[in-house]
Amino acid sequence: MKFIETPADWPADESAALAVQDELRTRVVLDEPGPQPGAGLVTGVDVAYDDERDVVAAAAVVLDAATLTVVEEATAVGRVAFPYVPGLLAFREIPAVLAALESLTHNPGLVVCDGYGRAHPRRFGLASHLGVLTGLPVIGVAKNPFTFSYGELGPRRGDFAALRAEDGEEVGRALRTQDGVKPVFVSVGHRTTLDNACSHTLRLAADYRLPESTRLADRLCRRALAEATA
DNA sequence: GCGACAG
DNA sequence: ATCTTGTCGC
């Protein structure tokens, strides 16, 4: 377990955070295919909060992409760095996630996080932000649609519908990972294509609606929070 | 101006 | 995210 250090220059308010997003968004790389689905390592990251006690816990779980076997786990705990503001989630989660990722001994490979990447009001959600700061390929898999809408999609695993911005651009996809179950919302963060992001998501969600990486990271950060709070 | 709104 | 019991279904 590692202690979370919030960067000294972390934005203190919403307008400062917006300025940071505006600057960093230009550094997102979208012309790389990214890791091949099913090969190498995939790392799930997640964060849990106890706002009452101002405590945050993050977890990073490294999986073998082919077998979905756990290769390594890391956690970090500390103080909450930013309030939850829709559109500024990254400022709340990233210091904790970075701390967890930094204590890993393995190269994370593809990082999978909760939330969005390009499917964001300013095209710079958590997955994009994390990607730019680490240089790693990152995708975002969210449980709920944000401000974007999507059309009807088939009922079977693998069926999907585009998540489109006002200008018609496809910023992500609503992807059905299990037959007859509510879809997840996939978008590119950094250094991957949307097609590959969806392929990875489907492979990781072999048995449940959510990717195994997120399920394991979620369990681990909750456990770390409980221990830190106890 | 008001509401909606990833985690 | 988090607060929380029972309950419907395989």
Write the CB contacts of A84 (distance below 8 Å, at least 6 apart in sequence).
Answer: A92
Residue A212 lies in a domain: yes
| Mean pLDDT across chain A | 95
Task: Give the lowest-confidence range in A35-49, A77-91, A142-156, A184-198.
Answer: A142-156
Query: Cα–Cα distance between A211 and A202 in angstroms, integer?
Result: 8
Residue A204 lies in a domain: yes
Residue A5 lies in a domain: no
Which ranges of A6-113 does DSSP label H, i.e. alpha helix?
14-24, 89-102
Residue A76 lies in a domain: yes
Q: Domain residues for A44?
A: 13-229
Check the annotation: does A54 bind a ligand: no
| Tens-digit pLDDT profile for residues A42-81 | 999 999 999 999 999 999 999 999 999 999 999 999 999 9
Among the listed residues A202, A147, A148, the one whose alpha carbon sits nearest the alpha carbon of residue A175: A202
A218 touches strand C (CB under 7 A): yes
Residue A2 lies in a domain: no
CATH of the domain at A74: 3.30.2170.10
Residue A3 lies in a domain: no
Please report which confidence band the pLDDT of residue A111 belongs to, taking 50, 70 and 90 as the band edges: very high
Q: How many structural domains comprise chain A? A: 1
Check the annotation: does A46 bind a ligand: yes
A86 CA to B4 C1' in angstroms comes to 10
According to the model, what pLDDT value does residue A168 have? 86
Q: End-to-end distance of chain A based on CA atoms, in angstroms?
A: 15
A57 touches strand B (CB under 7 A): no
| Tens-digit pLDDT profile for residues A128-177 | 999 999 999 999 999 998 888 888 899 999 999 999 988 888 999 999 99
Residue A6 lies in a domain: no
A2 within 8 A of A58, measured Cβ to Cβ? no
